[in-house]
Structure 1
Amino acid sequence: MSLQISAQHVKELRLKTGAGMMACKKALQESEGNIEKAIENLRQKGLASANKKANRRTAEGVIESYIHAGSKIGVMVEVNCETDFVARRLEFQQLSRHIAMQIAACPNVKYVNVKQIPQMIIDKEKQIEAGKEDLINKPELIKDQIIEGRIIKRLNELSLLNQPFIKNPDISVQDLINENIALMGENIQVKRFIRFILGEGEENDTSNFAEEVQSMLKS
């Protein structure tokens, strides 16, 4: 049975190392909650240094494309790294492919990360949540806390980097990228993406795209 780790401990380790949330949680479980041992664990894996590379210039990379079976959905994504050498590595190309497939499998994702979400979208979501019937009789402080929690959840749903990785839901897409930063020793960033759906604007059933993509990944 896995040791239960509090969100506060995960946050503390993440602030100290810059590693992904799931990587921090796993390191704490493996170290039985010992912060120092967890830091050592992450350093050995190279994950504790990913945040140090976050501001390094990424002028190389690839534009990866993915066409879903049946040619009814297509994705183009720009994934950047620091050098052409890394851009040509098989691991980088596989990462870019997985990210493209992730976008195809997540029709609700609209932005690369939460920071890209326009304030007008955030304000609209807050307005919607504030008007929900289950909050009408709540005390103002409790109401604000509930709204804040729901907004965070909603923004994460819109963000690519916050999605559980379809091939391994125990980690996020950001965690996957951090693992590859550790592996290849360069900053890696998703710059932008676009999704095409055949007949977009018409009535289409896209609910099974995620299941189909996951099935293809397992084959």
Structure 2
Amino acid sequence: MLKKISTNNIKELRNKTGAGMTDCKKALEASDGKIDIAIQTLRKKGLASADKKSNRLVTEGLVESYVHAGSRIGVLVELNCETDFVARQPEFRQLAKDVAMQIAACQSVQYVSQNDIPEKVILYEQNFELEKDDLLTKSIDIKNKIVQGRVEKRLQELSLLNQNFIKRHEITIEELIKQNISLWGENIKIRRFERFILGEGLESKNNTFTKEVSDMINNK
């Protein structure tokens, strides 16, 4: 006999997963009302359906902004979808706002995904790790394995999609996007972003200016 699923349980599951009401009800019925199991079921289902849509063309969307309290950090992010209808939904705008907030919170993030990281950056990280003192006495095989692990960790730190979502630490930004793909039934992509930090770069410019003035004086 199936356990009766309450409306409150369905709403709770929907709030945690972003899945549709019908899907939440079915997942709860299949899990005998156990929310944790239902979440895993929906996540697996959502990720599978999202992967099928990942190659669809996205030409709509919006540019969203986030300015952190104190107005010292600001972010602009472009989030794309397939239709203007989805782009105009409050939930889609909230998703964009959450992504922008995530970028503001993760100072190490520089790229949307690991696929966007230039080869020269990867080579730099590899060489940087190879030259560390704690690897000098290691064999070549051990050294390469350690470097590979450290570089992979560093590339994940640079990638937005690899970050744990600040509002729900049990999922990554990539999983958050895929859950919304499943929810809306169309492809969604973070195209690009820009982070602004108050005063960033001013010190180096001032140092350059000071050096130029000093050189002019010394050459007189």
TM range (shorter): 0.7 to 0.9
Aligned positions of 1:1-219 closer than 5 A: 41-42=41-42, 45-202=45-202
Return the alpha-carbon distance in structure 1 between the equivalents of residues 51 and 72 of structure 2: 37
RMSD of equivalent CA atoms: 2.3
CA distance change for structure 1 residues 137 and 169 in 2, over 3 Å: closer, same or farther? same
Which stretch of the first structure deviates more once superposed, 145-154 or 42-51? Answer: 42-51
Off by >4 Å, runs of 4+ in structure 1: 42-45
- What is the SS of the residue equivalent to 1:109? coil
Q: Deviations over 1:135-194 (max 9, x none)?
A: 111111111011000010000000000001001111100010011111111100000000
Residue 103 of structure 1 contacts residue 195 of structure 1 at CA under 8 Å; is this kept in 2?
Answer: yes
**What TM-score, normalized to structure 2?**
0.72
Residue 43 of structure 1 contacts residue 49 of structure 1 at CA under 8 Å; is this kept in 2?
Answer: no
Residue 47 of structure 2 contacts residue 175 of structure 2 at CA under 8 Å; is this kept in 1?
Answer: no
- What is the SS of the residue equivalent to 1:77? strand
Amino acid at match of 1:173: I
- What is the SS of the residue equivalent to 2:99? helix
**Identity between Structure 1 and Structure 2 (%):** 59
Gaps spanning 5+ residues in structure 1: where? 1-30, 32-36, 204-219
Amino acid at match of 2:53: K
- The answer for the alignment partner of 1:207 in structure 2 is none
CA distance change for structure 1 residues 134 and 43 in 2, over 3 Å: closer, same or farther? closer
Gaps spanning 5+ residues in structure 2: where? 1-30, 32-36, 204-220
Q: Deviations over 1:53-90 (max 9, x none)?
A: 00000000010001111111110000000000000112
- What is the SS of the residue equivalent to 1:46? helix
Amino acid at match of 1:55: N
**What TM-score, normalized to structure 1?**
0.72
Q: Give 1 or 2 for the bigger CA radius of gyration.
A: 2
